[in-house]
Structure 1
Amino acid sequence: MSLEKFADIYHRASERKGGKQQLESMLSSPLSQEQIANIPNDRWLAAFSMKVFQSGISWSVVRKKWPNFEEVFFGFKVEPLLMLSEEQWDKKASDKRIIRHHAKVKSICENAQMIHEVTLKHGSFGKMVAKWPSDEITELWLFLKKHGCRLGGNTGPYSLRQMGVDTFILSGDVESYLRSYQIFEGGKDTKRSLKAINQAFAQWQQESGRSLTQISQIIAFGVGDNQV
Structure 2
Amino acid sequence: MEKQKCAWCKGDALYEQYHDSEWGVPVKDDATLFEFLVLETFQAGLSWITILRKRENFREAFDSFDYRKIAHYNQDKIDSLLQDAGIVRNKLKVQAAVTNAQRFMEVQEEFGSFSKYIWGFVDGKPIKNKVENYKEAPSTTAESDALSKDLKKRGFKFVGSTVMYAYMQAVGMVNDHEVDCFRNEEI
Normalised by the length of structure 2, the TM-score is 0.64
> Is 1:157 matched up with 2:165?
yes
> Is 1:56 matched up with 2:45?
yes
Which SS does the other structure have where 1:154 is aligned?
helix
Which SS does the other structure have where 2:54 is aligned?
helix
> Do the aligned partners of 2:67 and 2:101 also contact (CA within 8 Å) in 1?
yes
Q: What is the CA–CA distance in structure 2 between the aligned matches of 1:52 and 1:77, rounded to whole Å?
A: 16
1:141-180 CA-partner distances (Å, limit 9, x unpaired)? 31123331011130012112210114xxxxxxxxxxxxxx
Q: What is the CA–CA distance in structure 1 between the aligned matches of 2:75 and 2:121, rounded to whole Å?
A: 34
Identity, % of aligned positions: 23
Structure 1 residue 83: deviation in Å? 2.0
Q: What is the CA–CA distance in structure 1 between the aligned matches of 2:76 and 2:153, rounded to whole Å?
A: 26
> Is 1:142 matched up with 2:149?
yes
Gaps of 5+ in 2: 1-22, 128-141, 180-187
Counterpart of 1:209 in structure 2 is none
Counterpart of 1:65 in structure 2 is 54
Q: Which protein has the bigger helix share?
A: 1
- Structure 1 stretches of 4+ with a deviation exceeding 3 A read 28-31, 131-136
Gaps of 5+ in 1: 1-27, 167-212, 219-228
> Do the aligned partners of 1:141 and 1:156 also contact (CA within 8 Å) in 2?
yes
Q: What is the CA–CA distance in structure 2 between the aligned matches of 1:83 and 1:165, rounded to whole Å?
A: 29
Counterpart of 2:82 in structure 1 is 93
Q: How many residues align?
A: 138
- Assess, with a 3 A threshold, how the Cα gap between structure 1 residues 74 and 123 changes in structure 2: closer, same or farther: same
> Which amino acid is 2:97 matched to?
I
Counterpart of 2:17 in structure 1 is none
> Do the aligned partners of 2:96 and 2:157 also contact (CA within 8 Å) in 1?
yes
> Which amino acid is 2:161 matched to?
G
Which SS does the other structure have where 1:84 is aligned?
coil
Q: What is the CA–CA distance in structure 1 between the aligned matches of 2:97 and 2:34, rounded to whole Å?
A: 7
Q: What is the CA–CA distance in structure 2 between the aligned matches of 1:95 and 1:81, rounded to whole Å?
A: 16
Normalised by the length of structure 1, the TM-score is 0.53
- Assess, with a 3 A threshold, how the Cα gap between structure 1 residues 127 and 88 changes in structure 2: closer, same or farther: same
What is the RMSD of the two structures over their aligned residues, measured on CA atoms? 2.6
> Is 1:106 matched up with 2:95?
yes
Structure 1 or 2, whichever has the larger Rg, is: 1
Q: What is the CA–CA distance in structure 2 between the aligned matches of 1:112 and 1:100, rounded to whole Å?
A: 18
Structure 1 residue 58: deviation in Å? 2.8
